[in-house]
Structure formats: C-alpha cells, structure tokens
Structure 1
Amino acid sequence: MLPVVNRFKTGLLGRRRVVLKLSVVALAASLLLGCERAPEAPKLAFQATDVTGSTIGGDFQLTDHHGQPRRLSDYRGKIVVMFFGYTHCPDVCPTTMIELKKVMTKLGAAAKDIQVLFVTVDPERDTPEVLKQYVPAFHSSFIGLYGTPAQLTEVTRAFKIVAQKSPTEGGGYTMDHSAGTYLFDREGNIRVFVNYGAGAAVFENDLRQLLKVNSVR
C-alpha cells in the first residue's frame, strides 16, 4: 500500500476542513428525501439515507485507471459504490476505502456483484499511474476514475459534490471535498447516500439490502 495511505492517521487538520463540506452534502441529501419515489422500487431497510427516486447524479463519461473510457451504465448488473476523493487525502478517503475493503471481505462471494468506483477530484496529481497504484491497493477490484476538467465539473455538479483547493505552507495544497458515498442498484438507479463516518457496518447492511434485489423492475 502506498505511503500516502498511512498518512491519514496524522490528518486531523484535513478532517476539520472537511466538516463544512460534509454538512453541505448531508443537507443536499436530506432535501432529496422529499423527492418523488420511484413506485416500482422495493422498499428496503437501509440504515443510511434512502434517496431512491431522486434525480441526483446520472450517467457520466470518465476514464478508468487502465485508460478505458467508462460510464456508470457500463456497470449495469452490479451494485455500484461511488466515492469522490483524492490520493493525497490524509484521513477521510483512506478511512472510507478501508471500510469498503472490510465490507468486501465480509461479503465473501457476494462481493463479486459489487463495484467500487473512486472518482478523483484532484486530476492534477492523480494521474492514471498514481490511481493504478493507490486504488487497487485497498482491494483488487476497486477502480479509479479520472477525467478532463470539463468532465469532472460536469460529474461533480451532477452529484452535488463540493471540491476545491486549499493551499498549504510550502506551496502545496489539499482538497476540501464532500465526503459522502453513493450506492446504486443493479440497474444504475441511485438508492442510498452514506455520510462519512457512518462506518463499515452501515455500508455492509445497505449493500446486503441491495444485493437481495436482482432487478427493480
């Protein structure tokens, strides 16, 4: 695993910077509760925020860490876990990725039906080579996605993601970004928003709920 993964233990400052962004996404997710629900979607016992039927997100066009063009629709038939972050993140991103790794291990054979997507909000530093080392270091099936500035602007806007540079001493920077995770069912419909800090048990419960459903139609 890359050294950057180990730096999350010392990233207390980064955690404080993310708090405000977390509240922004949490508010957006809570507003979605009033959206019209898709009548054909089965009611499942989610522990995180149920956003079934909302218009947030949608298909996108990005590139994976192997250099292949990817869309959300490419993963139809699998449960998709979509998280926005960056490889230099000191704490929030590796914490979430480690939680997802633990869940994949606990799910055993069922994990083959889940695809975790890590979308970088820092393409300046997160080159395909960096993503190829960082993302699968948590789990071999995890995929890193990147895009052009225009593509990333489009996808972050669609998914209500806040991401901006925060300068540090010495001329470097960190990325203040929304830290929630989206879960999609097998047909690519958004179903759940998991706030940062919910924990591996919540991910496991909600993914098991989605795994029960072969189709929402």
Structure 2
Amino acid sequence: MLFLAGVTGAAAFTLGLGAWRTRNRSVHNPLLPLPLTSMDWRLTNHVGQEVTPADWRGRPAMVFFGFTYCPDVCPTTLLDIADWLEALGPDADRLTVALISVDPERDTPDALANYISHFDPRIIGLTGSVGATARAAADFRVSFKKEPSGDGDYTMNHTAGVFLFYANGQFASIIDFHEDRRFAVPKIRRILA
C-alpha cells in the first residue's frame, strides 16, 4: 500500500512538473525568430508583388537576410542555398525560399530580380521601406546596420544565418554561415517531413 502511494505521488509530481514546463514554453524566447504566424511585416518581392507572412502558410520556409552589394557572405550563402536545393531534388519545390534585403535604399525589386537570377529560380527577393525592413528584422530577431566605408560608400552589417520554419509557421532551426552540407541538408529535410 505504501509502495502504491509512493508511485502515485511520484507520477502526480512528474505530471505536474511536465504541465508547468509546458505552460512556460509558451513564452517565446526573445533571441529566436517569432513563429511566422505571429509576424506582421509587409514587403515587396522581386516582381513587384506584396508579400506577408500569411502568404507562406502551409509551406516550410527558408529565409536569409542579405543585400545585393554584399561582397562575400551573401553570395556565398546564396550559392550554398542553391546547392542545398539541388541536393533536395524535387522536394525543394515544396519550400518557400527568400532573401530579405537589409539595404532597401539600393535593393529595388529590379535590383533583387537581377541579383537572385544568378543563383536558383526558386529563391525570391524581398525588399521594402526602411521601416518595413526593420519590422521584418525585428520579427526574425535579425540585426542590421549601415556602415560607412572610407570611399564615401557604405556596406551593411547584418545577421548571417539561414532561418528554417515548419509548414505550420513554427521556427525550426538556423543553418549557420558555412555550415557543412552534411548537416544543413538534413535540417532542411526535417522541415519538409
């Protein structure tokens, strides 16, 4: 009888602890992107159409922040993305893949269309006003900053990871810059599963 009471007490404690931990998980980590379903941005794609997070519902998404004047990180990442899409084969067609510009002053829809045409046709380019870009960056927890260069021009410092989301809009993981394809492609396959 005493043993049965102990087992029942332990089970009740475990269930209570699990319920408490589950309740606290609903509070979003401020360092990670919001779920797409909680985001509230409006941007313009490379063919001039408005895009919102609601347009991505029901499809896994892979999102990268960058800019067309980027000398190394952005083109390298986009080449990696094109390589990952090729490795996925026909499954890649089920993904929404987007580059969101952090340089709205120079990255017009036409500039983005020209830039992304060098990578993979499934990648869409998104741009908007400085305010719209800041709104999207805040939702994704991305930082970006205009940095003057010595020649009177400027560059953009920005977060350089590829964000993965499940079809239900929940954040899945990040593919870090230069992450090995052996690890990147399985992460993408998980959001497609």
Q: TM-score per shorter chain, which class?
A: 0.7 to 0.9
Match of 1:24 in 2: none
> 1:119 offset after TM fit, Å?
0.2
Kindly indicate whether structure 1 or structure 2 has the higher relative contact order, using CA contacts under 8 Å at least 6 residues apart. 1
Asked if 1:65 is matched to 2:43, the reply is: no
Please name the residue that 1:36 is paired with. Answer: 25
- Structure 2 spans left out of the alignment, 5+ residues: 1-23
Match of 1:175 among 153, 156, 165: 156
What pairs up with 1:86-165 in 2 under 5 angstroms? 86-165=67-146
**Does the 8 A contact of 1:80 with 1:115 survive in 2?**
yes
Q: Which runs of 5+ in 1 are unaligned?
A: 1-34, 39-50, 213-217
Distance 1:71 1:200 in 2: 29
Q: Distance in 2 between matches of 1:90 and 1:144?
A: 17
Post-superposition offset of 1:169: 2.2
Q: Distance in 2 between matches of 1:116 and 1:148?
A: 21
Displacement after TM superposition at 1:55 (Å): 6.1
Q: Distance in 2 between matches of 1:68 and 1:77?
A: 19
- The answer on whether the counterparts of 1:63 and 1:145 sit within 8 Å (CA) in structure 2 is yes
2: distance between equivalents of 1:55 and 1:174? 24
Alpha-carbon distance, 1:136 to partner: 3.0
1-side partners of 2:117 and 2:180: how far apart? 20
Does the 8 Å CA contact 1:100/1:203 hold for their aligned counterparts? no
Percent identical residues:
33
Alignment root-mean-square deviation, CA: 1.9
Contact 1:136 / 1:143 at 8 angstroms: preserved in 2? no
How far does residue 37 in structure 1 lie from its aligned partner after superposition? 6.6
Deviation at 1:199, TM superposition (A): 3.0
Q: Distance in 2 between matches of 1:167 and 1:113?
A: 39
Q: Which amino acid aligns with 1:130?
A: A
What residue number does 1:204 align with? 185
| Alpha-carbon separation, structure 2, partners of 1:210 and 1:118 | 18
Q: Aligned residue for 2:34?
A: 56
Contact 2:60 2:191 in 1 (8 A): yes
Count of matched residue positions in the alignment of Structure 1 and Structure 2? 164
CA shift in 2, pair 1:92/1:112, >3 Å: same
> In 2 relative to 1, CA 37–176 (structure 1 residues): closer, same or farther, beyond 3 Å?
same
